[in-house]
Amino acid sequence: MTSFDGDAYIDGTSPDLTGSAAGVGTESDLDLTTTGTAALTSATITSPSGATLSGTVNADARFLVQEDETERFTITAVVTVSADGFVNIALTEILYALTDVDGDLGYNFNLDDYKTPDLFMNAN
């Protein structure tokens, strides 16, 4: 993410599957698509580029992206399946704020590239 015309704060709480309209959700939203039966067990967001995290993890955490700077983020998701099938995960919304608070604005444009390939998972 690159911040223009001021600092931005990316929501740092655990991403979830709770779909939301822009500005309504509380976490960056993931879309889990499956032909079997799958559930999101856990998910975390981190910054391999070293964006500063403030707040309380999984409560009101947020990452600072300073004006005219670029920060990278990684979402790690753990999925469990109860039936064999193909699974993929897509990022459908990123929550952010323009002040130092937990993100409540939604960005959901041009996120088509942020989707995992289909992976066949066994329920063993």
pLDDT at 59: 78
**CA gap 55, 64 in Å, rounded:** 11
Alpha-carbon span 13 to 124, nearest angstrom: 31
Q: What is the pTM of this model?
A: 0.83
Q: What is the mean pLDDT of residues 60-64?
A: 91
112: left (phi over 0), alpha (psi -120 to 50) or beta: alpha
Kindly report, residue by residue over 74-123, the tens digit of the pLDDT.
999 999 999 999 999 999 889 899 998 877 888 989 998 999 999 999 98
CA gap 65, 52 in Å, rounded:
8
